[in-house]
Structure 1
């Protein structure tokens, strides 16, 4: 692995106490970034910081991405502790799956609020700092579900599709200020969330992937690293699929 792709940069990763978020924080720290691990679960935040402290400089912050003041605290902590903000990854998310007929309105609202409003608050707070600095990279986590739709996920698919629109609109607003906004659309990735799927369902979804396997969290994290680094310096408003070719 190359080292130093984001050396000295300051990063915030939301939903970073487990799964893809934890791996993104790990990869950024391994490549030299100072990282704020932000998550709602304070115990898992402490565990994540304990794991990642051996990799690089990492600080844990507990907060809710749906709360404007909490999101602002993520940004403020990065600026105070690291001297600025160069990278912001909107990764936090939840699922509340049910058929269209059986889904409760509150479960639709919860998923839309965490994914879409949470990402919007993150983009807004991060951009306020980055545009003054004249540089920065914001990475939003969408999903292939936001492109193709999944049965039982009208809330999740709608939120992830909305993140694509948010990414492109904010990218157009911020490009002239030197701030880049891009998105990643993971497919089937091995995480604590997908490991809860029934084995038969998981196997059936793997069979639909041209590469015939699920992805690993690090394979998504490496794409986040690319978008966070200067290797992607002429990219903004892009949506990168990380799904083993599932929607070719």
Structure 2
């Protein structure tokens, strides 16, 4: 019997990177996982061996109607959603000064990084309120705390995620629901591998530990945040930066 036996977790961005790693660990710990991602092929490949413990949902998280309909379907099937873990995100175009930023690209980044987290939280919160229990984890970034030059869209969208976390943590503090964020520095994932090496070096050089974080380190922190043991921390952004951010 794992820590999350009998619980249902909805994970966005579950086909790769941190979202996939968290999903697999939750499954090991006894949870049922609803895996959201726009890439169905990647979802199918990632969870081919997990059978009925995973519900695969190919979804465009920037479309509120799709999110609402899917969450309603999940609740009808499982009767509960105990955890929401929002990992879906993109960096958008980087190495670009603010006066050269494409507004359309900035909007696209905000739609996935911020709006989709708002949509999913908005959809699951009524059920969590009925249950008097819930754990929500929004994936932020150290870029949302400190700002990364050349990454206006990404940094600003993650700052918005942190702001939403603070608001939601306070709003639901007396309901048995915690809402927290996690702010990683550079974690070696496909998203980071796709970035220009100069951008990755710029970020890594700022880390006192002088290395990237690992997926295992991210997963271990995430699972504590969404566990029943995390019952007196809400509205908080957990640091995962090797010493870069200490506030």
For the superposition of Structure 1 and Structure 2, which TM-score range results when normalised by the shorter chain? Answer: over 0.9
Any runs of at least 4 consecutive aligned residues in structure 1 with deviations exceeding 4 A, and if so which? 198-201
2:154 corresponds in structure 1 to 156
Unaligned runs of 5+ in 2: none
1:64 corresponds in structure 2 to 60
2:244 corresponds in structure 1 to 246
Partners of 1:204 and 1:116 in 2: CA distance: 24
- Structure 1 residues 182-201: aligned runs within 5 Å: 182-199=180-197, 201=199
TM-score (norm 1): 0.92
1:165 corresponds in structure 2 to 163
1:41 Cα shift?
Answer: 1.0
Partners of 1:205 and 1:118 in 2: CA distance: 26
Which of 61, 68, 80 is the equivalent residue of 1:84? Answer: 80
Greater CA deviation, 194-203 or 6-15?
Answer: 194-203
Match status 1:139 vs 2:120: no
1:239 Cα shift?
Answer: 0.7
Partners of 1:120 and 1:224 in 2: CA distance: 19
Partners of 1:76 and 1:16 in 2: CA distance: 19
Alignment RMSD (CA, Å): 1.7
TM-score (norm 2): 0.92
CA contact (8 A) 1:38 1:74 kept: no
Unaligned runs of 5+ in 1: none
1:202 corresponds in structure 2 to 200
1:65 Cα shift?
Answer: 1.3
Partners of 2:69 and 2:31 in 1: CA distance: 19
- Please state whether the residue corresponding to 1:167 is helix, strand or coil: helix
Partners of 1:29 and 1:100 in 2: CA distance: 42
